[in-house]
Homo-oligomer: A and B are copies of this chain.
Amino acid sequence: MSEEFLKVARAAREAAAELAPLPRAAKDRALRAVADALVEHGKEIIEANAVDVDKAREGGTSEAMIDRLRLDEARIEAIAQAVRDIAELPDPVGEVVRGGTLPNGLELRQLRVPLGVIGIIYEGRPNVTVDGAALCLKSGNAVLLRGSSSAYSSNTALVRIMQEALEATEVPAGAVQLVPGLTRDSVKELMRARGLVDVLIPRGGASLINSVVEESTVPVIETGVGNCHVYVDADADLDLAVQILVNAKAQRPSVCNAAETFLVHVDVAERFLPMALAALSEAGVTVHGDERVAAHGGVVPATEDDYYAEYLSLDIAAAVVDSLEAAVAHIRKYGSGHTDAIVTRSQGAARRFVQRVDSAAVAVNASTRFTDGGEFGFGAEIGISTQKLHARGPMGLPELTSTKWVYTGEGHLRTSKGTVIPASGG
């Protein structure tokens, strides 16, 4: 590992030990100081951001991507406000998750504690730099940020301003670190930093996430790949089903909780498909359907790949299924375990679907778009986990913590005959 990387990783580790026991008030004060500093130094941030924007334009980046990269006064104010909002959220650290007195008199508590050092590998927008840092600080964790090289100048300025703001607070400035370097080597170093980094959270497209999962020896929380399904059951209210389907697909097609495939039960396919295809067409959606769907016209024939696709665009795959069980099997085979919805009036069908679909979230008679930390009332979200260990679904502050068992006795000894408590020696 490079000296440069080890330096920031060790600084984060030391800061994490100092940060972990800090009370909520100290962390909230630090977050407000960070928010103030970002607004105060807005001009510097915009200047640094201009370097990234110019480089992107020279490199021929699309205007849509450049817009995601660009910071202005209003966006910086919004970023600062998000930090203030995180300061208002309850502190997960110290929460007693379970606790009680054991039969032998030991007082046992399971407490929430910070994870330690969290690495975040992300693409695109520089707001993640601040948002990720604020979520980690609030949950008592130090953070190693490895953003997109296209935002390196912006991220460098943002991290420097956050660190300078922390200098005047009880939170150690070392708790927020930008991973140095622009090359893929720095991602590799993060992935190999077992013992220095406690968890890695990749935020971005499927290829970034897969490569981190494959190569990392640091534990990873997978986020965000969403091949979400809407299944229209034989007992569905078809009007509602059309509306849920169009909302799930078209309300915001670029996000992970947007629908990418719909499945319809054969018994209602003849009635549902003309309604659905007309509504989707009106919303500008291209349907990639199997033979039974394509028979209705205006449909692109689907290939196997379409069912695996996370389009993130105004495209949707479609198939007719012969039963609820066939829908579940399709979802288990092609899905990404993010969110899958059933539209049905049947309590039994809903129950079977919920029990058998193995995804982070299952929606019944609701759009898949509700799988979201904000909608769930978490106040903030670091991402949506599609893995089963540690955290599944939208991840808020508690998902950025671990737990610690604490037991308190008065000299409790364990013996082959049970607990013995010797008399105090005074």
Contact = CB atoms under 8 A, between A and B. Distances in A.
Q: Per DSSP, are chain A's interface residues mostly helix, strand or loop, or mixed?
A: mixed
A411 B350 CA distance: 14
A365 B412 contact: yes
B388 A115 contact: yes
A369 B414 contact: yes
Assembly stoichiometry (copies): 2
B251 A415 contact: yes
Nearest to A198: B388
A243 B409 contact: no
Contacts of A366: 106, 407-409, 411-413
B21 A356 contact: yes
Contact of A217 (B213, B251, B332, B367): B213
Interface string A400-422: 00111111111111111000001
Interface string A220-240: 110000000000000001111
A149 interface: no
A410 B217 CA distance: 44
Interface string A77-103: 000000000000000000000000011
A108 to B, nearest CB: 6
Contacts of A213: 194, 217
B217 A411 contact: no
Contacts of A393: 110, 403-405
Nearest to A403: B392
A356 B268 CA distance: 61
